[in-house]
Chain A
Amino acid sequence: MSRIDFDIAHLLAGSLVLISFLELYQDRLYALLNVYALHALTLAASVAWQAFIQDAPHLYVTAAIALFFKAIVIPVALHRIIVRLGIHRQIDKVVGVGSAMLAGIGLVALSMVVTLRATYGVESLARQDLAFALSVVLLGLLMMVTRRNAVGQVVGFMSLENGLVLAATGARGMPLVVEISVAFSILIAFIVIGIFLFRIRERFDSVDLQALDQFRGER
């Protein structure tokens, strides 16, 4: 692999981590969706680049899914849902921006330490991709924890999933990547349809998950 191939792959994977940080501190839903679309776009570029340098044409399918489904269809659909539900106000986050960012930095450091130590045998691109991917996964989890709003949590889950796709495409020659990315897209589609069809807004008068909790018989 030539130096420039490596650098571009590295750049794209690194940008994904940075964009995860951007998502972490967005406090408006529209802005969050736009940043997520950028996240998915970067993922599509990264996967397409991997398809090119690994000479693995089936990965272009995964890239296309990322481009059309995640970067266009899902953000547009969520945008509409937000308008319908009338929740384009500020997101009430559980923790502040500062502590979320600090926690995020800690998680990235953790994933670097863990993966770089555990992967001495693996070639360096896959190794660093894996470290980046784990960072994106952990940042996605952090985002799900720091948001109370259902839409915010879904965006967190989707960026977590982008991290998984990054890991799967970075693992050279992994079979079933396309199938798995399709399966995941179905899962996400269900989640989005779920918000809409279950009419969380209508039923609970809020997509704030704290309000959901109070309907439970045990409290």
Chain B
Amino acid sequence: MLQILNESLIELHINGEIRKALARPSDTLLFFLRERLGLTGAKPGCENGDCGACTVLVDGWPVKSCLMLAAEAIGHEVTTIEGLDKVPIQQAFVDKFAFQCGYCTPGFIMNCQGLINIHPDASDEVIHEWLQSNICRCTSYQEIMEAIRSVLPSQ
């Protein structure tokens, strides 16, 4: 049985690498990524699961890293925005001006990347369903829709 009783060195698979760092069992994955590993792409917003700025992929699925313990990620593959290497959705956000202040952008891109991988045939209804998990205070929603449509094979 895996057990972590206090602050300990834990090992996570992140962006294709094994990363080790100290973590308290009660550290969220968001805190661990930013404060222990310096991966600051996942943004703290509401830290309550509402805004989606901290979205990362866990085993390919979007997850709000403020609502996951770092310890839970042991044995799973985590991908952060730093782990994407010029994938089409990143260029699409540039081409379609799908951001203004940019704070929500990593979370939106990770959610979009999850959708592209899991449902490349997504309809507009499915895109809407997924994107409603993220909030953009600059209201770039239309441009974000255009960005993801431009890279989905089904569109």
A binds B: no
